Structure 1
Amino acid sequence: MTRILVGALALTALAWTGAAEAKGCIKGAVVGGVAGHYAGHHGLLGAAAGCAVGRHRANKQARQDNEAAGQAQPAGR
């Protein structure tokens, strides 16, 4: 029962992400899935958590990139 619930949550998390956020989710899910598997056979739970962390990091990096690009442009243009 627990595996079904965790699997459903992981699929929901993956389906919830948009195409722009897929990069961080996929990388995080792979790392989290492997770590979860070796930490006690909780690969799906690790993948779902990794997806969330990966999305957060990708969004944070995108914000920083946008801020840096905004500062590089001269004022008044």
Structure 2
Amino acid sequence: MTEAHLAMPGTQLGDPVKAATAVIEVAVGGTVPLHQVLGSDSYDLARARVATLLADIEAGRELALTTDVDDA
């Protein structure tokens, strides 16, 4: 991964100046999200990961709901 990053100077989607400005905005903005992504590529990757995680959670829903303590 490091080699791939080193091989792409100048071809990344992200603009370092815009990223720095965004980081400063988040730092001084007060209300910020717990996870702030920067860049369309990061946004797309994060959404895909969340979709995969949600699918895994839903796939295990039935079993998860059977493990509560029964109050009789």
Length-normalised TM-score, structure 1 = 0.37
Bigger CA radius of gyration = 2
Higher relative contact order (CA 8 A, sep 6+): 1
Length-normalised TM-score, structure 2 = 0.40
Higher fraction of helix: 1
